[in-house]
Amino acid sequence: MDTIITPEDLQHRLDDLRNSQMSIGLVPTMGYLHDGHLSLIRKAKSENDAVVTTIFVNPLQFSATEDLDTYPKDIESDTFLAKEAGTDFLFTPSHKEMFCDDVLTAVSVQEISSVLEGASRPTHFSGVATIVAKLFNIVGVCSAYFGEKDWQQIQVIKRMVKDLSYRVEIEGCPIVREEDGLAMSSRNVYLTEEQRKEAANIPESLLKAHQEIRAGERQSTIVKRIITERLDRSSAIEIDYVELVNGESLKITDQIDEQTRVLVAVKIGSARLIDNMNALKGLDR
């Protein structure tokens, strides 16, 4: 595995690969790699000739009150894990290498960026779209792998790819969960032992909702209430939203069908945690 720190260097290395007809898989991350990230790298490796994993804590997607300064980092462990999982090129630019100066350009995907996560974090998806657009421009033609825990992020990126004609295939990959069902996230490290136990209520609330859906329930309001009541049992959990939406348009749906996605966002202590499932299929396991 080669570690590369400048966009120009990565561009040249990947141009050489493409000239030899090699396919490229891209796994963009903000580091502090866990099994969820590693599953993306392994999938990218199984489907491409070479894998680029990027590690960049992107300041554009954090608001002034969010955890940019405390976002967890462990570059030594990340380097080891990324290599073990099959990364060929680890791209770890510093802020200066990514943006020589201030960034004056922003990519913004309208409508689907302002609901759900975007309602609480109005600048977040523009920050994500801008950095992902930059990574796509650096890496070029490739398949890019993203975890479905960030369901809305994938929809925003897919729409950007469509609207701006990026030659990038977007691959959404199933959520990887801890033993008790909690979706893996770098931010789980913020939880105290007690909060970590309470966090298991998130997947449990989705499981409970899915049981009712399997038993025939099709009304969104009822499913929403089941989830909310289950989460409200824990005083540690502060609900941001529980919504049932069309998985692509992210528009709220009253009646459940194959396209319906159930999305949940909560705060536990200082951690903001999200989870989701297809309403009819249930939790990824």
- For residue 179, the minimal CB distance to ligand PAF (Å) is 23
131 binds ligand PAF (CB under 6 A): yes
Stretch that binds ligand PAF, among 25-33, 195-203, 232-240, 256-264 (CB under 6 A): 25-33
152 binds ligand PAF (CB under 6 A): no
150 binds ligand PAF (CB under 6 A): yes
173 binds ligand PAF (CB under 6 A): no
107 binds ligand PAF (CB under 6 A): no
Q: Residue 31 corresponds to which tokens in the numbers above?
A: 């580091």
Which residues in the 58-77 window bind ligand PAF by CB under 6 A? 58, 61
- For residue 146, the minimal CB distance to ligand PAF (Å) is 6
38 binds ligand PAF (CB under 6 A): no
DSSP secondary structure string for all residues of the chain: -EEE--HHHHHHHHHHHHHTT--EEEEEE-S---HHHHHHHHHHHHHSSEEEEEE---GGGS-TTSSTTT----HHHHHHHHHHHT-SEEE---HHHH-SS--------TTTTTSTHHHHSTTHHHHHHHHHHHHHHHH-SEEEEEEGGGHHHHHHHHHHHHHHT--EEEEEEPPPB-TTSPBP-GGGGG--HHHHHHHTHHHHHHHHHHHHHHTT--BHHHHHHHHHHHHHT-TTEEEEEEEEEETTT--B-SB--TTEEEEEEEEETTEEEEEEEETTTB---
132 binds ligand PAF (CB under 6 A): yes
**The one among 14, 26, 29, 201 contacting ligand PAF by CB under 6 A:** 29
**Which is catalytic among the residues 34, 37, 95, 210?**
37
273 binds ligand PAF (CB under 6 A): no
- For residue 92, the minimal CB distance to ligand PAF (Å) is 13
Residue 210 appears among annotated catalytic residues: no
Stretch that binds ligand PAF, among 90-98, 126-134, 229-237, 239-247 (CB under 6 A): 126-134
| Contact set with ligand PAF (CB under 6 A) | 28-30, 58, 61, 128, 131-132, 150, 153
Positions marked catalytic: 37
